[in-house]
Protein backbone atom coordinates (compact mmCIF):
# COMPACT_ATOMS: atom_id res chain seq x y z
CA UNK A 1 0.00 0.00 0.00
CA UNK A 2 1.38 3.44 -0.95
CA UNK A 3 2.12 6.15 1.56
CA UNK A 4 -0.84 8.38 2.41
CA UNK A 5 -0.13 12.07 1.94
CA UNK A 6 -2.17 14.96 3.31
CA UNK A 7 -2.05 18.74 3.34
CA UNK A 8 -0.08 20.49 6.04
CA UNK A 9 -2.36 20.99 9.05
CA UNK A 10 -4.33 24.19 8.65
CA UNK A 11 -3.98 24.20 4.85
CA UNK A 12 -6.57 23.15 2.25
CA UNK A 13 -6.83 22.13 -1.40
CA UNK A 14 -9.45 24.14 -3.28
CA UNK A 15 -11.04 22.36 -6.26
CA UNK A 16 -14.30 21.72 -8.05
CA UNK A 17 -17.31 23.77 -6.98
CA UNK A 18 -15.47 25.63 -4.21
CA UNK A 19 -12.62 26.62 -6.51
CA UNK A 20 -15.06 27.95 -9.09
CA UNK A 21 -16.97 29.86 -6.42
CA UNK A 22 -13.73 31.44 -5.22
CA UNK A 23 -12.93 32.49 -8.78
CA UNK A 24 -16.39 34.04 -9.12
CA UNK A 25 -16.01 36.01 -5.90
CA UNK A 26 -12.51 37.20 -6.77
CA UNK A 27 -13.71 38.27 -10.22
CA UNK A 28 -16.50 40.37 -8.66
CA UNK A 29 -14.07 41.86 -6.14
CA UNK A 30 -11.52 42.75 -8.80
CA UNK A 31 -14.07 44.35 -11.13
CA UNK A 32 -15.66 46.31 -8.26
CA UNK A 33 -12.26 47.54 -7.07
CA UNK A 34 -11.54 48.80 -10.58
CA UNK A 35 -14.97 50.42 -10.82
CA UNK A 36 -14.03 52.56 -7.80
CA UNK A 37 -10.70 53.57 -9.35
CA UNK A 38 -8.36 51.21 -7.48
CA UNK A 39 -5.23 49.97 -9.27
CA UNK A 40 -3.60 46.55 -8.74
CA UNK A 41 -0.42 46.08 -6.73
CA UNK A 42 1.40 42.75 -6.42
CA UNK A 43 4.03 42.34 -3.70
CA UNK A 44 6.24 39.30 -2.94
CA UNK A 45 5.06 36.55 -0.64
CA UNK A 46 8.27 36.92 1.36
CA UNK A 47 9.71 39.98 3.08
CA UNK A 48 12.83 40.56 5.14
CA UNK A 49 12.24 40.13 8.85
CA UNK A 50 12.91 43.79 9.66
CA UNK A 51 9.95 44.68 7.39
CA UNK A 52 7.54 42.16 8.88
CA UNK A 53 8.46 42.91 12.50
CA UNK A 54 8.27 46.67 12.04
CA UNK A 55 4.53 46.54 12.66
CA UNK A 56 1.82 44.10 13.66
CA UNK A 57 2.32 43.52 17.37
CA UNK A 58 3.86 40.69 19.36
CA UNK A 59 0.93 38.30 18.89
CA UNK A 60 1.03 38.35 15.09
CA UNK A 61 4.84 38.20 15.04
CA UNK A 62 4.66 34.87 16.87
CA UNK A 63 2.74 33.49 13.88
CA UNK A 64 5.21 34.44 11.13
CA UNK A 65 6.73 31.60 9.10
CA UNK A 66 10.48 32.30 9.05
CA UNK A 67 13.25 31.06 6.76
CA UNK A 68 16.71 31.91 5.37
CA UNK A 69 17.97 32.42 1.83
CA UNK A 70 21.23 30.89 0.63
CA UNK A 71 23.15 33.98 1.74
CA UNK A 72 21.90 33.51 5.29
CA UNK A 73 19.48 36.47 5.24
CA UNK A 74 16.40 35.88 7.38
CA UNK A 75 12.98 36.42 5.81
CA UNK A 76 9.38 35.58 6.58
CA UNK A 77 6.16 34.85 4.74
CA UNK A 78 3.87 37.88 4.73
CA UNK A 79 1.09 37.75 7.33
CA UNK A 80 -1.02 40.45 5.66
CA UNK A 81 -0.97 42.71 2.60
CA UNK A 82 -0.85 46.01 4.50
CA UNK A 83 2.75 45.86 5.75
CA UNK A 84 4.08 45.15 2.22
CA UNK A 85 1.99 48.08 0.94
CA UNK A 86 3.56 50.38 3.55
CA UNK A 87 7.03 49.19 2.57
CA UNK A 88 6.24 49.81 -1.11
CA UNK A 89 4.84 53.32 -0.60
CA UNK A 90 7.75 54.27 1.68
CA UNK A 91 10.27 53.36 -1.01
CA UNK A 92 8.35 54.65 -4.06
CA UNK A 93 9.19 58.35 -3.94
CA UNK A 94 7.45 59.22 -7.22
CA UNK A 95 4.07 57.81 -6.19
CA UNK A 96 1.19 60.23 -6.73
CA UNK A 97 -1.18 60.66 -3.78
CA UNK A 98 -3.88 59.80 -3.07
CA UNK A 99 -2.94 56.30 -4.15
CA UNK A 100 -5.80 53.81 -4.41
CA UNK A 101 -4.62 50.23 -4.62
CA UNK A 102 -6.04 46.75 -4.42
CA UNK A 103 -4.15 43.50 -3.80
CA UNK A 104 -5.39 39.92 -3.92
CA UNK A 105 -3.06 37.24 -2.66
CA UNK A 106 -2.14 34.58 -0.10
CA UNK A 107 -0.93 35.42 3.40
CA UNK A 108 0.40 33.00 5.98
CA UNK A 109 -0.03 32.71 9.75
CA UNK A 110 1.40 29.91 11.85
CA UNK A 111 -1.39 29.97 14.42
CA UNK A 112 -4.36 27.88 15.46
CA UNK A 113 -6.65 26.98 12.57
CA UNK A 114 -10.46 26.73 12.62
CA UNK A 115 -11.53 25.39 9.22
CA UNK A 116 -15.20 25.41 10.24
CA UNK A 117 -14.90 29.20 10.72
CA UNK A 118 -12.88 29.72 7.53
CA UNK A 119 -9.61 30.19 9.43
CA UNK A 120 -6.62 28.50 7.81
CA UNK A 121 -2.86 28.96 8.00
CA UNK A 122 -2.85 30.09 4.39
CA UNK A 123 -5.64 32.48 3.46
CA UNK A 124 -6.38 34.68 0.48
CA UNK A 125 -6.87 38.32 1.39
CA UNK A 126 -8.52 40.79 -0.97
CA UNK A 127 -7.44 44.29 0.09
CA UNK A 128 -8.38 47.83 -0.87
CA UNK A 129 -6.49 50.81 0.55
CA UNK A 130 -6.41 54.58 0.06
CA UNK A 131 -3.10 56.28 0.85
CA UNK A 132 -2.74 60.03 1.22
CA UNK A 133 -6.26 61.06 2.23
CA UNK A 134 -6.91 62.47 5.69
CA UNK A 135 -10.64 63.02 5.29
CA UNK A 136 -13.14 60.44 6.55
CA UNK A 137 -14.77 60.28 3.11
CA UNK A 138 -12.13 57.62 2.42
CA UNK A 139 -13.70 55.33 5.05
CA UNK A 140 -17.15 56.11 3.70
CA UNK A 141 -16.14 55.14 0.16
CA UNK A 142 -14.66 51.86 1.37
CA UNK A 143 -17.83 51.01 3.30
CA UNK A 144 -19.94 51.81 0.23
CA UNK A 145 -17.66 49.61 -1.88
CA UNK A 146 -17.99 46.76 0.63
CA UNK A 147 -21.77 46.69 0.43
CA UNK A 148 -21.59 46.95 -3.35
CA UNK A 149 -19.42 43.79 -3.31
CA UNK A 150 -21.63 41.90 -0.85
CA UNK A 151 -24.76 42.62 -2.90
CA UNK A 152 -23.09 41.42 -6.10
CA UNK A 153 -21.84 38.15 -4.64
CA UNK A 154 -25.16 37.38 -2.93
CA UNK A 155 -24.47 38.21 0.74
CA UNK A 156 -27.30 40.48 1.83
CA UNK A 157 -27.24 39.90 5.60
CA UNK A 158 -24.03 41.77 6.39
CA UNK A 159 -23.41 44.29 9.16
CA UNK A 160 -20.29 46.45 9.42
CA UNK A 161 -19.25 47.28 12.98
CA UNK A 162 -17.42 50.56 13.30
CA UNK A 163 -15.30 52.10 16.05
CA UNK A 164 -12.33 54.44 16.45
CA UNK A 165 -9.04 53.73 18.21
CA UNK A 166 -8.82 57.40 19.19
CA UNK A 167 -12.17 57.08 20.94
CA UNK A 168 -11.21 53.80 22.59
CA UNK A 169 -7.77 54.98 23.69
CA UNK A 170 -9.20 58.27 24.92
CA UNK A 171 -11.91 56.50 26.93
CA UNK A 172 -9.35 54.17 28.55
CA UNK A 173 -7.20 57.16 29.50
CA UNK A 174 -10.27 58.85 30.97
CA UNK A 175 -11.10 55.70 32.93
CA UNK A 176 -7.64 55.79 34.49
CA UNK A 177 -6.21 52.74 32.68
CA UNK A 178 -2.40 52.92 32.80
CA UNK A 179 -0.68 53.19 29.43
CA UNK A 180 1.31 49.99 29.99
CA UNK A 181 -1.98 48.07 30.44
CA UNK A 182 -3.70 49.56 27.40
CA UNK A 183 -2.69 46.87 24.89
CA UNK A 184 -3.84 44.05 27.20
CA UNK A 185 -7.19 45.77 27.75
CA UNK A 186 -7.75 46.33 24.02
CA UNK A 187 -6.85 42.72 23.23
CA UNK A 188 -9.46 41.56 25.75
CA UNK A 189 -12.12 43.96 24.40
CA UNK A 190 -11.47 42.85 20.84
CA UNK A 191 -12.58 39.31 21.77
CA UNK A 192 -16.10 40.49 22.60
CA UNK A 193 -17.67 38.99 19.46
CA UNK A 194 -15.97 35.63 20.08
CA UNK A 195 -16.21 35.13 23.85
CA UNK A 196 -19.04 37.48 24.82
CA UNK A 197 -19.49 39.92 27.69
CA UNK A 198 -18.67 37.54 30.54
CA UNK A 199 -15.63 36.19 28.70
CA UNK A 200 -14.18 39.68 28.30
CA UNK A 201 -14.82 40.50 31.97
CA UNK A 202 -12.98 37.34 32.94
CA UNK A 203 -10.01 38.39 30.79
CA UNK A 204 -10.03 41.90 32.24
CA UNK A 205 -10.03 40.49 35.78
CA UNK A 206 -6.93 38.54 34.85
CA UNK A 207 -4.93 41.66 33.94
CA UNK A 208 -2.57 42.52 36.79
CA UNK A 209 -2.87 46.04 38.22
CA UNK A 210 -6.15 46.77 36.41
CA UNK A 211 -8.46 48.23 39.06
CA UNK A 212 -12.03 47.13 39.78
CA UNK A 213 -13.29 50.67 39.23
CA UNK A 214 -11.64 50.74 35.80
CA UNK A 215 -13.21 47.38 34.88
CA UNK A 216 -16.61 48.69 35.96
CA UNK A 217 -16.30 51.66 33.59
CA UNK A 218 -15.16 49.40 30.75
CA UNK A 219 -18.21 47.16 31.40
CA UNK A 220 -20.44 50.17 30.76
CA UNK A 221 -19.20 50.76 27.20
CA UNK A 222 -19.72 47.08 26.34
CA UNK A 223 -23.36 47.38 27.49
CA UNK A 224 -24.16 50.36 25.25
CA UNK A 225 -26.88 49.70 22.70
CA UNK A 226 -29.36 51.59 20.56
CA UNK A 227 -29.14 53.51 17.32
CA UNK A 228 -25.82 54.91 16.21
CA UNK A 229 -26.87 58.40 17.24
CA UNK A 230 -28.01 57.20 20.67
CA UNK A 231 -24.71 55.41 21.22
CA UNK A 232 -22.64 58.39 20.09
CA UNK A 233 -24.51 60.64 22.52
CA UNK A 234 -23.79 58.21 25.37
CA UNK A 235 -20.15 58.02 24.35
CA UNK A 236 -19.96 61.83 24.31
CA UNK A 237 -20.96 61.80 27.98
CA UNK A 238 -18.05 59.45 28.72
CA UNK A 239 -15.48 61.30 26.56
CA UNK A 240 -13.39 63.35 29.01
CA UNK A 241 -10.50 64.32 26.74
CA UNK A 242 -9.83 65.70 23.26
CA UNK A 243 -8.64 62.36 21.89
CA UNK A 244 -11.93 60.61 22.64
CA UNK A 245 -13.92 63.58 21.33
CA UNK A 246 -11.92 63.58 18.10
CA UNK A 247 -12.71 59.90 17.66
CA UNK A 248 -16.44 60.57 18.04
CA UNK A 249 -16.28 63.42 15.53
CA UNK A 250 -14.60 61.18 12.97
CA UNK A 251 -17.30 58.54 13.41
CA UNK A 252 -19.98 61.18 12.89
CA UNK A 253 -18.24 62.36 9.73
CA UNK A 254 -18.12 58.84 8.28
CA UNK A 255 -21.82 58.27 8.96
CA UNK A 256 -22.71 61.65 7.41
CA UNK A 257 -21.45 60.47 4.00
CA UNK A 258 -23.56 57.30 3.96
CA UNK A 259 -27.09 57.24 2.57
CA UNK A 260 -28.20 55.00 5.42
CA UNK A 261 -26.49 53.71 8.54
CA UNK A 262 -28.82 50.70 8.82
CA UNK A 263 -26.00 48.39 7.80
CA UNK A 264 -23.33 50.14 9.90
CA UNK A 265 -23.37 49.79 13.68
CA UNK A 266 -21.17 51.62 16.18
CA UNK A 267 -19.33 49.00 18.28
CA UNK A 268 -17.46 50.84 21.07
CA UNK A 269 -15.61 47.66 22.15
CA UNK A 270 -14.10 46.99 18.70
CA UNK A 271 -10.31 47.39 18.75
CA UNK A 272 -8.85 45.17 16.00
CA UNK A 273 -5.88 43.07 17.05
CA UNK A 274 -3.07 44.71 15.10
CA UNK A 275 -1.26 47.56 16.82
CA UNK A 276 -0.85 49.83 13.80
CA UNK A 277 -4.39 51.23 13.75
CA UNK A 278 -4.64 54.93 14.62
CA UNK A 279 -8.26 55.90 13.93
CA UNK A 280 -11.47 54.32 12.62
CA UNK A 281 -11.55 50.51 12.62
CA UNK A 282 -14.20 48.27 11.12
CA UNK A 283 -15.23 44.64 10.80
CA UNK A 284 -17.93 43.01 8.70
CA UNK A 285 -20.07 40.12 9.92
CA UNK A 286 -22.81 37.98 8.47
CA UNK A 287 -25.91 38.25 10.64
CA UNK A 288 -26.98 34.78 9.46
CA UNK A 289 -25.08 31.55 8.97
CA UNK A 290 -22.61 29.51 10.94
CA UNK A 291 -19.53 31.69 10.33
CA UNK A 292 -19.24 33.88 13.43
CA UNK A 293 -15.84 35.38 12.60
CA UNK A 294 -15.47 38.59 10.60
CA UNK A 295 -15.57 38.41 6.80
CA UNK A 296 -14.04 41.87 6.43
CA UNK A 297 -11.71 43.89 8.63
CA UNK A 298 -9.41 46.90 8.62
CA UNK A 299 -9.05 50.52 9.54
CA UNK A 300 -6.88 53.63 9.43
CA UNK A 301 -3.12 53.43 9.96
CA UNK A 302 -1.68 56.96 9.59
CA UNK A 303 1.70 56.28 11.24
CA UNK A 304 2.89 53.08 9.59
CA UNK A 305 4.25 54.44 6.30
CA UNK A 306 6.03 57.31 8.07
CA UNK A 307 7.67 54.74 10.35
CA UNK A 308 8.96 52.87 7.31
CA UNK A 309 10.29 56.12 5.84
CA UNK A 310 12.04 56.79 9.14
CA UNK A 311 10.29 60.04 9.94
CA UNK A 312 7.47 61.09 12.23
CA UNK A 313 5.39 62.48 9.36
CA UNK A 314 1.87 61.22 8.91
CA UNK A 315 1.17 59.50 5.62
CA UNK A 316 -2.57 59.07 5.83
CA UNK A 317 -3.78 55.58 4.95
CA UNK A 318 -6.91 53.49 5.40
CA UNK A 319 -8.02 50.14 4.05
CA UNK A 320 -9.57 46.80 4.74
CA UNK A 321 -9.46 43.20 3.65
CA UNK A 322 -12.16 40.77 2.50
CA UNK A 323 -11.68 37.21 3.80
CA UNK A 324 -12.15 34.97 0.78
CA UNK A 325 -12.26 31.69 2.71
CA UNK A 326 -14.96 32.86 5.11
CA UNK A 327 -17.05 34.42 2.36
CA UNK A 328 -16.81 31.20 0.32
CA UNK A 329 -17.88 29.15 3.35
CA UNK A 330 -20.92 31.38 3.88
CA UNK A 331 -22.03 30.94 0.29
CA UNK A 332 -21.54 27.18 0.19
CA UNK A 333 -24.65 25.28 -0.90
CA UNK A 334 -25.71 22.09 0.86
CA UNK A 335 -26.34 19.94 -2.24
CA UNK A 336 -23.72 21.32 -4.57
CA UNK A 337 -21.86 18.67 -6.62
CA UNK A 338 -18.35 18.02 -5.37
CA UNK A 339 -16.81 18.22 -8.84
CA UNK A 340 -18.05 20.78 -11.31
CA UNK A 341 -16.90 22.15 -14.65
CA UNK A 342 -17.03 25.75 -15.87
CA UNK A 343 -18.19 24.47 -19.28
CA UNK A 344 -21.61 25.57 -20.49
CA UNK A 345 -21.86 22.76 -23.00
CA UNK A 346 -20.20 19.35 -23.48
CA UNK A 347 -19.85 18.33 -27.14
CA UNK A 348 -19.99 14.60 -27.86
CA UNK A 349 -18.37 13.74 -31.25
CA UNK A 350 -20.26 10.60 -32.29
CA UNK A 351 -19.01 11.07 -35.88
CA UNK A 352 -16.24 13.63 -36.42
CA UNK A 353 -13.90 14.90 -33.74
CA UNK A 354 -12.49 17.44 -36.22
CA UNK A 355 -15.95 18.92 -36.85
CA UNK A 356 -16.57 19.01 -33.08
CA UNK A 357 -13.35 20.98 -32.64
CA UNK A 358 -14.49 23.44 -35.32
CA UNK A 359 -17.84 24.03 -33.61
CA UNK A 360 -16.17 24.30 -30.20
CA UNK A 361 -13.82 26.99 -31.51
CA UNK A 362 -16.73 28.87 -33.05
CA UNK A 363 -18.53 28.88 -29.69
CA UNK A 364 -15.41 29.77 -27.69
CA UNK A 365 -14.73 32.71 -30.01
CA UNK A 366 -18.18 33.96 -28.96
CA UNK A 367 -17.18 33.79 -25.26
CA UNK A 368 -18.86 30.48 -24.45
CA UNK A 369 -17.10 27.85 -22.29
CA UNK A 370 -17.00 24.55 -24.14
CA UNK A 371 -15.68 21.10 -23.29
CA UNK A 372 -15.33 18.32 -25.86
CA UNK A 373 -15.39 14.60 -25.12
CA UNK A 374 -11.89 13.43 -26.08
CA UNK A 375 -12.32 9.89 -24.75
CA UNK A 376 -14.81 8.67 -27.39
CA UNK A 377 -17.25 7.32 -24.83
CA UNK A 378 -20.72 6.08 -25.58
CA UNK A 379 -23.48 8.68 -25.57
CA UNK A 380 -24.90 7.27 -22.33
CA UNK A 381 -21.56 7.54 -20.55
CA UNK A 382 -20.96 11.02 -21.96
CA UNK A 383 -24.33 12.21 -20.66
CA UNK A 384 -23.58 10.78 -17.20
CA UNK A 385 -20.14 12.42 -17.20
CA UNK A 386 -21.52 15.85 -18.13
CA UNK A 387 -24.26 15.57 -15.52
CA UNK A 388 -21.75 14.61 -12.81
CA UNK A 389 -19.70 17.73 -13.61
CA UNK A 390 -22.77 19.98 -13.54
CA UNK A 391 -22.55 20.93 -17.23
CA UNK A 392 -26.06 22.07 -18.21
CA UNK A 393 -26.07 21.14 -21.92
CA UNK A 394 -24.68 18.36 -24.09
CA UNK A 395 -24.15 18.90 -27.83
CA UNK A 396 -24.45 15.67 -29.82
CA UNK A 397 -22.73 15.59 -33.21
CA UNK A 398 -23.43 12.49 -35.30
CA UNK A 399 -23.50 11.84 -39.05
CA UNK A 400 -27.11 13.06 -39.38
CA UNK A 401 -26.33 16.34 -37.61
CA UNK A 402 -23.26 16.94 -39.77
CA UNK A 403 -25.24 16.36 -42.98
CA UNK A 404 -27.92 18.85 -41.87
CA UNK A 405 -25.36 21.39 -40.63
CA UNK A 406 -26.98 21.24 -37.19
CA UNK A 407 -26.17 20.01 -33.68
CA UNK A 408 -28.49 18.17 -31.30
CA UNK A 409 -28.58 19.95 -27.93
CA UNK A 410 -29.80 18.15 -24.82
CA UNK A 411 -30.86 20.19 -21.80
CA UNK A 412 -29.85 17.94 -18.88
CA UNK A 413 -32.02 19.78 -16.37
CA UNK A 414 -35.26 19.84 -18.35
CA UNK A 415 -34.55 16.53 -20.11
CA UNK A 416 -35.43 17.89 -23.56
CA UNK A 417 -33.45 17.67 -26.80
CA UNK A 418 -33.57 19.84 -29.91
CA UNK A 419 -31.64 20.23 -33.15
CA UNK A 420 -30.37 23.73 -33.87
CA UNK A 421 -27.76 25.65 -35.82
CA UNK A 422 -24.56 26.82 -34.19
CA UNK A 423 -25.80 30.42 -34.38
CA UNK A 424 -29.02 29.45 -32.60
CA UNK A 425 -26.92 27.62 -29.99
CA UNK A 426 -24.82 30.73 -29.41
CA UNK A 427 -27.93 32.80 -28.69
CA UNK A 428 -29.33 30.15 -26.37
CA UNK A 429 -26.13 29.84 -24.32
CA UNK A 430 -25.81 33.62 -24.03
CA UNK A 431 -29.34 34.08 -22.67
CA atoms within 13 A on the CB side of 27: 6
Question: How far is the C-alpha of 261 from the C-alpha of 251, rounded, in Å?
Answer: 11
Interval 301-306 mean pLDDT: 94
Among 190-199, 396-405, 411-420, the least confident range: 190-199
Do 279 and 250 form a contact (C-beta atoms < 8 A)?
yes
| Domain 16-331 homologous superfamily, CATH | Bira Bifunctional Protein; Domain 2 (3.30.930.10)
Question: How far is the C-alpha of 320 from the C-alpha of 9, rounded, in Å?
Answer: 27
Residue 239, preceding peptide bond in cis (omega within 30° of 0):
no
Q: What's the pLDDT band for 16 if we cut at 50, 70, 90?
A: confident
Q: How far is CA 92 from the centre of its chain?
A: 26
pLDDT of residue 287: 84
Instruction: End-to-end CA distance of the chain: give it in Å, rounded.
Output: 50
CA atoms within 13 A on the CB side of 286: 22
DSSP string, 154-171: T---EEEEEEEHHHHHHH
pLDDT over 60 (residue 337): no
Strand ranges across the sheet with 296-300: 39-40, 99-108, 122-131, 317-323, 296-300, 280-286, 158-164, 264-266
Cβ burial, residue 423 (10 Å; 0-12/13-18/19+): exposed
Question: How far is the C-alpha of 61 from the C-alpha of 3, rounded, in Å?
Answer: 35
According to DSSP, the residues that pair with 286 across neighbouring strands are: 158
Residue 262 neighbours by CB under 8 Å, 6+ apart: none
Domain ranges of the chain: 16-331, 345-429
Cα angle at 44 between 43 and 47, to 5 degrees? 115
Among 84-88, 195-199, 246-250, 317-321, the least confident range: 195-199
pLDDT of residue 152: 95
Strands (E), 226-343: 264-266, 280-286, 296-300, 317-323
Higher-scoring residue by pLDDT: 55, 306? 306
Cβ atoms within 10 Å of 9's Cβ, excluding its own: 8
> What is the CATH architecture assignment of 345-429?
3-Layer(aba) Sandwich (3.40)
Q: What's the pLDDT band for 147 if we cut at 50, 70, 90?
A: very high
Beta strands at 280-286 and 296-300: parallel, antiparallel or unpaired: antiparallel
pLDDT of residue 405: 95
Helix, strand, or coil here: 280? strand
Give me the helix-helix angle, 16-35 and 324-331, nearest 10°: 120
Please state, for a pLDDT cut of 90, what percent of the chain lies above it: 77
Tell me, letter by letter, the H, E, C secondary structure of 63-115.
CCCEEECCCCCEEEECCCCHHHHHHHHHHCCCCCCCEEEEEEEEEECCCCCEH
Question: How far is the C-alpha of 47 from the C-alpha of 70, rounded, in Å?
Answer: 15
pLDDT over 70 (residue 336): no
What is the chain's mean pLDDT, rounded?
A: 91
pLDDT of residue 334: 42
- Dihedrals φ, ψ of 395, to 5°? -105, 120
Amino acid sequence: MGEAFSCVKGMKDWYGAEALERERIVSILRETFKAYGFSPLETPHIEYVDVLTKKGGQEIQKEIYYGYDQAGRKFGLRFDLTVPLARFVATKKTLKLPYKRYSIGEVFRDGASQPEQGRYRCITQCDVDIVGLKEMCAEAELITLAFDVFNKIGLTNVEIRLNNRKLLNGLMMGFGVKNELLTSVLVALDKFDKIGFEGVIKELNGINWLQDEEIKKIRNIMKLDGTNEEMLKELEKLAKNDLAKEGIQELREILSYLDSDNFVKIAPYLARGLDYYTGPVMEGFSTKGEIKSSILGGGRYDNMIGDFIGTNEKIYAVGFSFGLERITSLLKKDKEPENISPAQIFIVPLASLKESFRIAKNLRDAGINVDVDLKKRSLKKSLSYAEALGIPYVGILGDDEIKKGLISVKDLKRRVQKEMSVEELKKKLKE
